[in-house]
Amino acid sequence: MSAEEPLKVLVVDDSAPNRRLLTELLESSPDVRVVSTAADGNEGLRQVLALHPDVVTLDLEMPRLGGYSFLRLLKSAAPTPVIVISSYAHKADVFKALELGAFDFIAKPSKPTPDALERLRRELHEKVHAARRVRAELQPAVRRSRVIPLEPSFVVGVGASTGGPPAVQRLLESLSPEPSMSLLVCQHMPKQFTRAFAERLDRLGPFTVREAQEGDTLQPGHVFIAPGGRQLVVYRQGGQYTLGTPPPTMQDKHAPSVDRLFMSLAEVFGSKAVGVVLTGMGSDGALGAKSIRKAGGEVWAESERTAVIYGMPQEAVATGAVSRVLPLGEIGPALVELARKRRVT
């Protein structure tokens, strides 16, 4: 697609008012054009095959052919990035859709206030543009194994935003040969969805994945997801490491914040801290990367070649704190190798 061509979007939703609203919000940007709308999955599939849109926005609950069946058929007939538009009340549905191949999701505002609609407009534009730049397919899920070593090799902090859910999943799948790691994940996501995100990841591989809670103990083979709307930090208490989930302060731009997580890892683990910055818009993680580097730890970033949005990795690299820039598919194997080397030494 040339720079002059608008981004072509197909809106699939059984509600006529929703179709009109989404079309209006999407086309408020001059580089986005809604090529058509569809009221159910059957019509949506026909439109995809006829019009070849760059991105599809999808409602899950539709007559005749619902969202899940649409995703299954689309994957085999005409693979196209799909953004699910869902209400907060259907969290499990959203993550089932992600498992079936949806690129990302957007939560419908509970009340259509002017501020809520403006936030929806901005998120629509951000994610439809991100979907167009998808470069990597998810690898198949790894069969779960419950054999966990007694001692953790080391702790890794992971930060991600737009395009992050499938990237985090792919990273965890690639770490399955070394299930003794402990990971702390800061994924920008509304508070209503982080627990469902953790539950979905928990089903995929050898790690136990859960949404972090105040007072949790860092354990080998465990992945803790930062709760939406709060921060995730680590404290050392005696011979163990305890997780904290404090509310954001006035200075925090994000909740959860990659910067806050990385700064905490730098303070507690020093030269043993490892931070990984994945796809995302903005600069969250850059300040934290500098803290880890100053403490003697390592910071890695996803390369532009695979990052859906190269904003967060690029900002981290620009600080000079990043020691390795790797495609997404190489980050996991490199962490496995590092874990084994550290365990030997």
Would you please indicate which residues are annotated as catalytic (active-site) residues? 161, 188, 284
- DSSP class per residue in 7-26: EEEEEE-S-HHHHHHHHHHH
CA distance 199 to 203: 7
**Cβ atoms within 10 Å, residue 138:** 14
Residue recorded with tokens 């086309």: 27
Cα-flanking dihedrals φ and ψ of residue 32, to 5°?
A: -125, 135
Distances (CA, A) of 10 to 13, 34, 159, 175: 10, 6, 31, 36
**How is residue 69 written in tokens?**
């069946």
Which ranges constitute the DSSP H helices of 181-327?
A: 194-202, 258-269, 286-294, 311-318
d(CA 254, CA 312): 13
Give how far Cα 295 sits from Cα of 155, 182, 259, Å: 15, 19, 14
If DSSP codes are grouped into helix, strand and coil, which group holds residue 82? strand
